[in-house]
Structure 1
């Protein structure tokens, strides 16, 4: 089995970034993904912290949590991104402008994005899926998928995607045994799997921005266990990143 272990939400706060960096040093987390709008306007400082993690970084495209990066969306919603319900009502062309601005801001800050994915999984929605695929083609990047059908749709549109994305472990304060059990469930599914995680430390900025607090530290403890990487290897799980996806 080939597995990408992605730590979402880099750039959300300095403490979250410290946690992701620690999980990366332990060797289990192989990818992260940048919340550009959450870091706005101090994108450069967040990008510098992420660059120090020494793992590939994608762009975690946002419609909630943070500030609009594009003038077009700012003119419509003001200085804060909407809540989830409001985000779902956005015009897809506004979403295209905002997501393009987030990708370009990450690049201007010195990051070379490894892939695209989305905050709260809005790329799975039919209203925004075509925008997601179009931007992936424009920037020649692979994307986070959802399931085999989604990956096939992406391939038909000329975009590489992870075939199975595992989200059942993250955010639930589950332990090592549950993580390994989820991986075992998909052991014979073929293709490259992606395990989504949210390790991090807690600081005032995180408390302001997210309801996911202590659960991030619980995930960090599991992912920082020095024995976990060896356990995965012993089970025939080969860790990789989005560079293993062929377009």
Structure 2
């Protein structure tokens, strides 16, 4: 199935004096701005068809592509015929399925800590954290962006499969590459009415990173809601 992400850039806030990032982006105070986002394009034929249908016939307005996966060429061909599609890169550092696996774009010799004994990306985020270095993560992030560009995919944004790039060990590299390449990165740093509980003790770090991204001239969203759906 697909994961449909509702990215909320403006909701009513309890502190009337709080200025949201949506307002900083020019939306009037009190306006609700919602981006409906689909992950996992490129993972399979079904995920591609689901993403296409969600954008063309549904409410989705944005999606992101898993560059290490086998069905990326199919979606890349779709983008050539539909260049107006808001398509980003779903930076993929894990390979979670039992019988369908993928490895790093950079190759095992370049990022050995990102791969298991079979040469695939680790199943779980915890394994990535235990074995990979920030340098390896940055190398793979850059490789996935370069691969997209080589296929004619110009990413509108970056986000993170299974949230791996959001881990405190890796988030600085994720943000660094986005700022350097001037590609918006998914980060929630406003009122966080929905995602705030998940951020927990990392909230101050998230807020400071959001300010860094904003000062670099890239947009920031206020909140994030995730909901699983069927393809």
TM bucket by the smaller chain?
0.5 to 0.7
How far has the Cα of 1:45 moved from its partner?
3.3
Instruction: Tell me whether 1:67 sits opposite 2:64 in the alignment.
Output: no
How far has the Cα of 1:107 moved from its partner?
0.8
Instruction: Tell me whether 1:80 sits opposite 2:111 in the alignment.
Output: no
How far has the Cα of 1:52 moved from its partner?
4.7
If asked which structure has higher relative contact order (CA below 8 Å, sep 6+), I would say 1
How far has the Cα of 1:124 moved from its partner?
2.3
How far has the Cα of 1:75 moved from its partner?
7.9
Q: Give deviations 1:65-110, integer Å, cap 9, x for gaps.
A: 2211003125862531012221112100000000100011011100
Specify the alignment match of 2:145 in structure 1: 103
Specify the alignment match of 1:189 in structure 2: none
Give the paired residue count.
Answer: 170
Q: Would the aligned equivalents of 1:43 and 1:109 in 2 still touch at CA under 8 Å?
A: no
How far has the Cα of 1:44 moved from its partner?
3.1
Q: Would the aligned equivalents of 1:6 and 1:30 in 2 still touch at CA under 8 Å?
A: yes
Secondary structure in 1 aligned to 2:111? helix
Q: CA RMSD in A?
A: 2.2
TM-score by length of 2: 0.66
Gaps of 5+ in 2: 1-31, 96-101, 191-206
How far has the Cα of 1:136 moved from its partner?
0.3
Q: Would the aligned equivalents of 2:42 and 2:73 in 1 still touch at CA under 8 Å?
A: no
Specify the alignment match of 1:235 in structure 2: none
How far has the Cα of 1:163 moved from its partner?
2.1
How far has the Cα of 1:50 moved from its partner?
4.5
Residue from 202, 211, 216 that aligns with 2:230: 216
CA distance in 2, matches of 1:15, 1:139: 31
Are the structure 2 counterparts of residues 17 and 44 from structure 1 closer, same or farther at C-alpha, using a change threshold of 3 Å? closer
- Larger mean CA deviation between 70-79 and 85-94 belongs to 70-79
Specify the alignment match of 1:132 in structure 2: 174
CA distance in 2, matches of 1:51, 1:164: 31
Residue from 46, 55, 70 that aligns with 1:24: 55
Gaps of 5+ in 1: 172-214, 218-247
How far has the Cα of 1:29 moved from its partner?
0.7
CA distance in 2, matches of 1:52, 1:121: 30
